[in-house]
Amino acid sequence: MDKADITPALVASLVAAQFPQWADLPVRPVELDGWDNTTYRLGEEMSVRLPSADRYTLQVDKEHRWLPILARRLPLPIPETLVKGVPGCGFPRPWSVYRWLEGEPATVERIANLVEFAAELAGFLDALYRIDPSGGPPPGMHNFFRGGPLTTYDAETRNAIADLGDEIDTDGAREVWEAALGATWYGSPVWVHGDVGASNLLVDKGRFSAVIDFGGLAVGDPACDLTIAWTFFSGQSREAFRARLPVDGATWARGRGWALWKALITLVPALKEGRDEAEVAGLRMGWRRGARQVIEELLAEHRGAQES
């Protein structure tokens, strides 16, 4: 079953069949739907989240296992799992019902103070990294190796650089990538969110209100959580984000590597399909700038770090 086949009518049927106490509640689309999962609002106080493909089903049990434990130790609300559904009504995968979290996906226009927002996000990640990771899942197919070594995406990154040719500074991109690969991580594994993008951060009345979508959750290297420093923050907000984070220079360099990989694999298909890469990045991931600009900023920051 494809994402397009997951309709409000199907969701209503699943809810009515498995949780009849909620059968009369309306099922409505959300403002910004995800890619890995399809989400609908159920009544006023709940949401339904359904994996969009078989490769995302491993996230269901993981979230039900760990989110209640993490929630008690974090400074902002995260999704609260209520019940887990099973395949039915033609839908072939497990699915979940969550408590609804108020707020809208973060945009610069919705944030009252971007510098404060950046510092609060860093504080949230700091709290996440301090939670005991014992027994937590290591990076793997369940989260597409977020928190794992950058070498996982070495071939894909080099191929993307080659494919882009004159579209970007390929020598500079290779230099940033090589520096990221060489920035050895000596730290102990920590909890990582795995997909810290503006579309997964909620804002209510101008203030940071919640963090959602923990499908990328794992215990590993926190560098994967730093991509937002270049896709959404800049100037003082980027400085505030970095200053509050408990990471060293090598982790920041690996973070540049994660951001470069993500920007490259966003830019390549956009150019091949003749699409506006800034629009693609903004709609799907809540980026403030397009992939090409992200790449340029990464290269400029790396050069500055080498010269200082």
Q: In this predicted model, what pLDDT tens digit does every residue of 217-240 receive, in sequence order? A: 999 999 999 999 999 999 999 999
| Helix boundaries (H) for the chain | 8-18, 58-71, 114-130, 154-164, 170-182, 228-231, 235-244, 249-272, 277-285, 291-307
Name the residue ranges covered by the structural domains of the chain.
Answer: 3-101, 105-307
pLDDT at residue 31, as a whole number: 82
Tell me which architecture the domain covering 3-101 has in CATH: 2-Layer Sandwich (3.30)
pLDDT at residue 306, as a whole number: 86
pLDDT at residue 5, as a whole number: 94
pLDDT at residue 283, as a whole number: 61
Separation CA 229–CA 236 (nearest Å): 11
Q: What is the CA radius of gyration of the chain?
A: 19
pLDDT at residue 82, as a whole number: 98
Residue bearing tokens 């979940």: 96
209 token code pair = 């209100």
pLDDT at residue 135, as a whole number: 97
In sequence order, the β-bridge partners of residue 49 are: 39, 96
Which positions of the chain have pLDDT values less than 50? none
pLDDT at residue 281, as a whole number: 66
b/e map 128-162, b = 16+ CB within 10 Å? bbebebeebbebeebbbbbbbebeebeeebeebbe
First to last CA, the chain: 53
Q: What is the CATH number of domain 105-307?
A: 3.90.1200.10
With a CB cutoff of 8 Å and minimum separation 6, the contacts of 10 are: 89, 90, 91
Residue bearing tokens 């699915």: 95
pLDDT at residue 275, as a whole number: 80
